[in-house]
Structure 1
Amino acid sequence: MPTPTTVSTCSPQTEHGKHVFEIFGYSQHRNMGLEQVITSGTFSIGGHDWALLFYPDGYSNREEICIFLKHLSHAEVRASCELRMVDQTTGQPSFFRKTGMTWFNPCCYIQCSGLRMNRREFEASVYLRNDHLTIECIVTVRRSRVSTTQFVNKIEAPPSSGITEQLAKLLEAEENADVTFSVGGETIGAHKILLAVRSPVFRAELFGPMKESKVTIEDMQPAVFRALLHFIYTDSLPDVDQNDARESNSDLIWHLLVAADRYAVDRLKSLCESILCKNLDVETLPTTLALAYQHNCDKLKDICLEFISSSSVMDALMATDGYKDLKTTCPSALIDMFEKTLRSVHTKNCSVY
């Protein structure tokens, strides 16, 4: 009889997370006293609780401001952190302090991992505007993951065959397609039941009173419709760089947002909003803002308006062709944009006094 053999494995596990701590009314927190602290809300990363500590009058020196990361959980953990100050004129973090992996003991923080800055230099810097500052903290937690003990002599189940890949191939081959779409002169085959499950608009169109089997799609490019079908079948975008919405990608994402709204594919619509939000700049903003208004993307609209009011982009924006189109296609966006900018300027002027 063979001797039973068991095995366990150990592998590193890394988790990342970011917390943003915004402080308003900085001047009113001044003169709290040395070692007096403002503590952020508790946030959880890697199964541990953390908080940011801000000392407006310094931790050991009244001539500086200090920021520390504090570990709140009752078990030690190996982690690294990156503390960053956000440039209030660009919205981008630039001044930072990064530490290597170190052990955080229960309910303590390591002073050398803090971010320190001369208070006079800080108060004259781009990190403080309108009595407001923003701190970003990225925490990386590294743990050892040990598997459960298992018998070596066992029957392994085969790995997943990848149903999304199979569905993508089914769409590409148009095998057993029972509906055809005419899009921009091209004919595209698909499967009614999959479309109906994923889109209430397709469900009504394909299984309603008309029960269409041949459908003509107006006002949509074939590439956009194929990308829409690819998402419906696989719950993922085709080969698109989701971190780059510029040039050809931006055009596809804009059109996909319109298509997703048209066919009530809500997750695709949210995904398009997320991609456009990450890649806002002066060139993409006019079209993105207009689409946000036209297709009820409230969060994307607010982010666009906030980008305009918090960045020195107004002059550059007004020089673009997109801005000229925006005046015609979405005048309400311009009204909100100017109101937001004026409020920002008024708040800044009031803070001076």
Structure 2
Amino acid sequence: MTLSTDDSLDAPETVSTLRVEKVKGSHLFKIMGYSLQRNIERGKFLESATFSVGGYDWSITFYPNGYLNAQDDYTSVFVCLKTEAQLVQAQPSFTFLDQDENPLSEKRTTKVFKFNNNVNKDADFGFLNFVKRSTFESVLKDDCLLIRCTVTAFKDFPVEVEPACPLRVPPPDVQQLSLLLEAGYGADVIFEVNGVTFNAHKCILALRSQVFRAQFFGPLKEKSDTIIKIEDMDAQVFKSLLHFMYSQTIPEFEEINGSEKKHMAQHLLVAADRYDLERLKIICQNILYNTMDTSNVVALLSLAEMHNCIHLKTGCLKFLACPEILGDVVATKEFQCLVRSHPLILKELFELARSSPKLKDVGASVGI
């Protein structure tokens, strides 16, 4: 049967899309005991652990005495593509840092380099004459050399074919709920926190939190004509908690300094755990994880243990397992008090840092 032009059927229009995105990531390569490695042969290198950027694996190779054809007294540094791939386009940069991670020297390229470790084995890029040894060896502290490599990879996402959509549907505007909180329209519950009152809406709170759902609509629900008093919580923390439940954001964090931010994140994590707000709890863990140092790691580990924060606890244990950090921390009263209250923490640390004599002394004092 032959179709005439009038019998033809129109196929729906389709659209194909290829997405190319920049994915940026960094890796810090710490070389402890640099003086023991500085005199290795020219052309010999030290290699970092493998790290991932843009779905590809990379590593840093550092030549303390330079690559074979480098100038005298110069170091060489390269980033190597470890994943077998036909072609990966990326822009690398390298930075020498001091002990406080402030940049001492930096080199970057403005060109996009093509990594290919299949055909021509052209899988690394870097700087043959990076930095003179004489310019940085005099400022090293604790015999530790820090090199940060930042890789900006250009990643192609698969071509997607789908029916054309004539209109783009805008994302839902959850910020309208925060306006409802600020205006107080239709509020049907009042909270009192340290003398400060807050109006809110039971349905929204119950939607976000199983704890509030049980409190308002469960068998032991609160009477509708009472003011609910919140004990053991700062008013500003509860205000931030309410704001998050309405908007899923905590913009107050962008307006406060580092120490106040850490303080607020700790208290907000406790509140998130109290009201079963898992997303807020994860946000607070990430903030605290990124502000961890020797002055607060014991307090963060205790907080993580009390509130079942696995991500934060794992980060604290790995941080403490570093020999140069562990020796200073285990001697403190705060750490010894923590392991007496939670001896399992010490057992987990043993798995990561078995060779520390100071750790064994603390273990013996608590019967481990």
TM range (shorter): 0.5 to 0.7
Report the CA distance between 1:69 and its aligned residue.
Answer: 0.8
| More deviation, 37-46/6-15 | 6-15
- 8 Å contact kept, 1:83–1:115: no
- 8 Å contact kept, 2:22–2:153: yes
Taking the aligned partners of 2:128 and 2:275, their CA distance within structure 1 comes to 50
* Residues 300 and 113 of structure 1: CA distance in aligned 2, closer, same or farther (over 3 Å): same
The normalised TM-score by structure 1 is: 0.67
Match of 1:332 among 334, 354, 357: 334
- 8 Å contact kept, 1:16–1:139: yes
Report the CA distance between 1:83 and its aligned residue.
Answer: 1.0
Describe how 1:202-351 pairs up with structure 2 within 5 A: 202=212, 205-206=215-216, 210-213=220-223, 214=226, 215-241=228-254, 245-246=257-258, 252-253=264-265, 255-276=267-288, 278=290, 293=302, 296=305, 298=313, 332=334
* Residues 105 and 219 of structure 1: CA distance in aligned 2, closer, same or farther (over 3 Å): closer
Taking the aligned partners of 1:219 and 1:143, their CA distance within structure 2 comes to 49
* Residues 151 and 269 of structure 1: CA distance in aligned 2, closer, same or farther (over 3 Å): closer
Larger radius of gyration: 2
Report the CA distance between 1:173 and its aligned residue.
Answer: 5.1
Q: Which residue of 2 aligns with 1:124?
A: 138
Does the alignment pair 1:55 with 2:63?
A: yes
Match of 1:94 among 101, 104, 113: 104
- 8 Å contact kept, 2:241–2:272: yes
Q: Secondary structure at the match of 2:172?
A: coil
Match of 1:83 among 94, 99, 102: 94
Taking the aligned partners of 1:27 and 1:169, their CA distance within structure 2 comes to 60
- 8 Å contact kept, 1:182–1:188: no
Report the CA distance between 1:190 and its aligned residue.
Answer: 2.6
Q: Matched residue pairs, number?
A: 310
- 8 Å contact kept, 2:240–2:252: no
Taking the aligned partners of 1:304 and 1:112, their CA distance within structure 2 comes to 30
Q: Secondary structure at the match of 2:131?
A: strand
Q: Which residue of 1 aligns with 2:352?
A: none
Give me the identity figure in percent: 32
Contiguous gaps of at least 5 residues in structure 2 = 1-5, 306-311, 326-331, 339-357, 359-368
Q: Which residue of 2 aligns with 1:316?
A: none
Q: Which residue of 1 aligns with 2:48?
A: 40
Report the CA distance between 1:51 and its aligned residue.
Answer: 1.6
Contiguous gaps of at least 5 residues in structure 1 = 311-329, 337-345, 347-353
Match of 1:141 among 150, 153, 166: 153
* Letter matched to residue 92 of structure 2: C
Report the CA distance between 1:52 and its aligned residue.
Answer: 1.0
Taking the aligned partners of 2:192 and 2:280, their CA distance within structure 1 comes to 22
Report the CA distance between 1:19 and its aligned residue.
Answer: 1.8
- 8 Å contact kept, 1:11–1:146: yes
Report the CA distance between 1:172 and its aligned residue.
Answer: 4.2
The normalised TM-score by structure 2 is: 0.64
Q: Secondary structure at the match of 1:64?
A: coil
Taking the aligned partners of 1:268 and 1:156, their CA distance within structure 2 comes to 33
Q: CA RMSD in A?
A: 4.5
